Amino acid sequence: MRYRSLIFATLLIVPLPGCVYRMDVPQGNAVETARLEQIRIGMTRKQVRFLIGEAAIQDPWHPDVDDYIHYLYNGKSGRTEKRHMRLRYKDDRLVSIEGSLTEDAVSN
């Protein structure tokens, strides 16, 4: 009878770790796709920041470059998705956009 209780308890406990909820953890610049689509070459830095906010990284040695970075840790799969977008300015006007923060630009 004692072994039967032990086996029953073991069978109940073993599958429990699979029931743990692991949440997704976003970090950095999470920007709506609709706002990203409004960015155009020639816009001022102030206009761009109004649309998508401050850059995550502002290098003091390269003041004409803003880096927007977004990480998403997927709690279920344990993988991290990284998205990176670099905006370059000249005379306070946007001259180039490299990369993207949208979902179709995911690199692991």
pLDDT digits (tens, 9 = 90+) for 5-51: 777 666 666 666 666 777 878 788 778 888 888 999 999 999 999 99
Return d(Cα 79, Cα 11) in angstroms, integer: 30
Q: What does the domain layout of the chain look like in residue ranges?
A: 22-105
Phi, psi of 75 (to 5 degrees): -65, -30
| Residue 108 confidence class, pLDDT cut points 50, 70, 90 | very low
Do residues 39 and 97 touch, judged by C-beta distance below 8 A? yes
Percent of the chain with pLDDT over 90: 35
Highest CATH level, class, for 22-105 = alpha beta
| Residue 107 confidence class, pLDDT cut points 50, 70, 90 | very low
